[in-house]
């Protein structure tokens, strides 16, 4: 938490930007939640603790955090961007439940080499990748069976 705040402050200083209570508070709320939240969901949580913070500040802070490397956008294609922690969190991919919308993270060491090889073949310089597996998560399967 402290480390993230320092990281943010360093970023702000480096870019001639200024600290603010709002930014710090939004970061705190964001870090407190381990889920992949939409901006609106984060906004709700922020409003609960700090009702005076406006929604554009949340959007702006979120974008800032992405630029600063503290957050990452996850786009599951439902219209709203989700945000996940990016600081000291390793690379990973997602299982996305089409029923409940939940995201499960996973890592598999075999992916990267394949990606690099494919790119090599196409003479493509890889910056990043995303592997999303869509389907139904275990919880939702159980629920279906109970019916």
Backbone φ and ψ for 127, nearest 5 degrees, come out as -105, -45
CB of 30 to DNA, least distance (A): 13
Map the footprint of a copy of itself across residues 76-115, applying CB under 8 A: 77, 95, 97-98, 104, 106, 108, 110-111, 114-115
Give the nearer residue to DNA in terms of CB position, either 23 or 94. Answer: 23
Residue reference for tokens 């939240």? 37
Provide the residue count of the chain.
Answer: 147
Count of C-beta atoms within a 10 Å radius of residue 30: 22
Per-residue contact flags (x/-) with DNA for residues 7 to 46, judged by CB under 7 A: -----x---xxxxxxxx--------------xxx------
Cα 123 from Cα 126, distance rounded (Å): 9
Pair of tokens at residue 109:
């060491």
- The candidate with the shortest Cα–Cα distance to 64, out of 139, 4, 113, 105, is 4
Give the nearer residue to DNA in terms of CB position, either 99 or 143. Answer: 99
Q: Which residues are at the interface with a copy of itself (CB under 8 A)? A: 73, 75, 77, 95, 97-98, 104, 106, 108, 110-111, 114-115, 117-119, 121-138, 141
């Amino acid at each position: 938490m402290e480390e993230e705040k320092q990281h943010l402050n360093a970023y702000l200083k480096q870019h001639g930007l200024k600290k603010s209570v709002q930014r710090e508070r939004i970061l705190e709320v964001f870090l407190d939640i381990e889920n992949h939240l939409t901006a609106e969901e984060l906004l709700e949580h922020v409003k609960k603790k700090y009702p005076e913070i406006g929604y554009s500040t949340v959007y702006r802070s979120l974008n800032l955090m992405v630029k600063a490397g503290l957050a990452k956008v996850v786009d599951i294609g439902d219209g709203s961007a989700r945000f996940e922690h990016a600081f000291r969190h390793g690379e990973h991919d997602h299982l996305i439940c089409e029923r409940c919308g939940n995201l499960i993270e996973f890592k598999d060491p075999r992916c990267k080499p394949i990606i690099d090889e494919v790119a090599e073949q196409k003479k493509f310089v890889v910056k990043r990748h995303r592997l999303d597996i869509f389907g139904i998560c275990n919880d939702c399967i159980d629920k279906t069976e109970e019916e």
